[in-house]
Structure 1
């Protein structure tokens, strides 16, 4: 991509003096020609196309789908005939290690039965998923190749609004494409594309197929991984979002360290946003920081001395403007590292130091597969701990019994009870742990009333008759 800056010359009414004439020089060739080609030449070879296939089973409709017949035959006819069809999707990826390590979006390869990676030089390789992280919408792939071009990581915390960036990917499958723009916003938390809602916003054109591609800075380093757009039409409207490189780096490190699941350090704190009203009550000059509403006992924040009612203004010297920062900032750092917390308590500023650690895995999960003639049959459930809650994208302070898996075609699957749903009670009896849930479901009943908390936090009651 090449951008030319042409100067426009205007004739002046008044003649120039000889002295003035001597100071007017024609534009230099460098001034007339400005190009991103050197950056693209360095970065583009490390951006790949990712083709994935997944097999989807669909159930053929039958008369048993009609409620009239179900009144007579119940759920016995719901099995039906199933058909298989293959879905294909296209995305992009970035080589981050010369030994064949590639990062892409999880939604590009989620559920894939076959993944094919095509390099910029047109070589093709089969790829395997080394690690999939739904919380950040990142997946790490590996191909059997060596000596590949790879992008170094930029410090995404140093990105500033107005910085020039390039988006490289394969939009609409037309082939590798480069678009230019600037950083429109940093620390954007409203995109909703992952559980770690902390994105770099850019106006560089990003379209379907760009997912998993590179957002590079002016030095050609990986500033972020393109993941989502805001669009009413499905095309680029100049509002794109990229997962910051510092968070990507942490997921890549987990994969290269042999971790099957990404474990992220935490502070162990709950907080709420500060609006103008709260800021005025706290004596702040403007809305900023995050107001602490709860501190997990013996967690890093608790051990550092953070208290309910404190206002966290910065974490690791990075300003805080919304509660999401208290989750995002520690997630980019290594466990055991120390993070400075700049806080406001009783109107006075002070600094604390928190030693970051992984969320605890207490209580024990006690995972169980539920069976029998009851609506949760086919579901695997476990006791919630902060570690399990984090991996499921739930509130780490939440307790109870959570569904970790659902067998396709089971009763639980038919009733829409999937991974991440918390079971609060059965027929009015609270279920604090898996043992209590299994006991409650073992009681004979013609009608089951399940109290559930969905992924979005809503509490609902599901009534199922036998």
Structure 2
């Protein structure tokens, strides 16, 4: 505190000296020699209202270990027993759709939270609802109900180049909204063991604790990434920060909005990144790309005609540098989507169109909506008039409840339900018998679940 006071006093003293020694100006000049002074202020005036502060409350289970000295009295009955403890947390978020009130943040910011409070730049505080999250990529989608929200435009992160200017916006250490600047230091960073699916933008814009979930923008104020992590021995900024690319985030969020979950696409190959050793052994003319060691039978890659020994160098016309980058980009593209892969085979470039299959590890969104919907795969109807039952697993709770393939859920207890998000909200904390309004074979009927 003494050091801080000294710095403030010194600053005041230097300001006083400056005022006595320098001529007084009514304001700083906006131009010098006819040239406008560069400033990020106009861009930030439009971008910063779309970045919010997030505070959370909740409980989490922690392992309770009994010291050896007390085991004589308590035995092992408390040893290893988890206990719930309250926690609070701070982070940031980005409004990507003002009409719907959608806010993107990191999953680790709101994980296990019972209360999520959003603070806008204008000072308004709003309670947020969690619509869905993807732990493996650390993305979460929230929703607030408010008017006059600002939203940020999403840029194409695949067009980024190393050296492009970046601006990070967030709320570090709970200080309130803070802006820092830097450049894109690297692209396609992976193998950091931060998340399961990694394809990070690296930046030297200062990112600290509390910036998680905030915006990384370009000089046009467009969103290029969601700030996620830093590399620092003591948790402080050392000029190495990482952000989830906006394209990856956008792909995942669209799936959460449509299905209530991430339905991760799978290619069905294993391999490694091309390096000089592989390039020499396989007589390749490139030192970058994803070398395929094995293609799983009946996988998307197998059905498209990919083979072991192929080197994937582009996804939808965009170059990739490593197998990890391939995995990260494919993992954010939804199941059932088609992608074009450019492959080097026997020295020639070939293009394959692959329809991605669904990861077996994907959680069924229906189970998280209501226990009697477990085993059903849901999707929003194309006309936004209900929820289509795509598939019902045999002997699942959904089948035992009477649901069939092709059923369309249009309401709950006579309340109109247009999409999965509304269905989740209506069934939240519902107890007892619930009446689902169903259209089956073009006939309306009720289905009771409990």
Q: What TM-score does the superposition give when structure 2 sets the normalisation length?
A: 0.68
Pairwise CA RMSD of aligned residues?
A: 2.6
Count residues in correspondence: 332
Query: Deviation of residue 268 (structure 1)?
Result: 1.4
Structure 2: distance between partners of 1:340 and 1:79: 50
1:275-330 Cα offsets, whole Å, 9 max, x none, are: 21111111123421121112122222111110112111222112222111222223
SS in 1 for 2:227: strand
1:89-139 Cα offsets, whole Å, 9 max, x none, are: 110000111121111111111111211110010100111211021011111
Contact 2:248 2:332 in 1 (8 A): yes
Partner of residue 373, structure 2: none
Query: Deviation of residue 255 (structure 1)?
Result: 2.4
Pick the aligned partner of 1:48 from 46, 52, 71. Answer: 52
Structure 2: distance between partners of 1:65 and 1:127: 46
Written as runs of structure 1 = structure 2, the 5 A alignment for 1:312-351 is 312-351=312-351
Query: Deviation of residue 250 (structure 1)?
Result: 1.5
Written as runs of structure 1 = structure 2, the 5 A alignment for 1:219-368 is 219-257=220-258, 259-359=259-359
Gaps of 5+ in 1: 1-25, 368-466
Query: Deviation of residue 244 (structure 1)?
Result: 0.4
Structure 2: distance between partners of 1:250 and 1:204: 25
Structure 2: distance between partners of 1:238 and 1:197: 19
Q: Aligned in 2, Cα 1:78/1:189: closer, same or farther, shift over 3 Å?
A: closer
Query: Deviation of residue 50 (structure 1)?
Result: 0.3
Partner of residue 185, structure 1: 186
Gaps of 5+ in 2: 1-31, 368-450
Contact 2:335 2:359 in 1 (8 A): no
Q: What TM-score does the superposition give when structure 1 sets the normalisation length?
A: 0.66
Q: Aligned in 2, Cα 1:68/1:50: closer, same or farther, shift over 3 Å?
A: same
Query: Deviation of residue 219 (structure 1)?
Result: 1.4
Q: Aligned in 2, Cα 1:356/1:59: closer, same or farther, shift over 3 Å?
A: closer
Partner of residue 172, structure 1: 173
Contact 2:191 2:324 in 1 (8 A): no
Structure 2: distance between partners of 1:361 and 1:55: 26
Query: Deviation of residue 58 (structure 1)?
Result: 5.5
Contact 2:265 2:337 in 1 (8 A): no
Contact 1:104 1:225 in 2 (8 A): yes
Pick the aligned partner of 1:37 from 8, 21, 41. Answer: 41
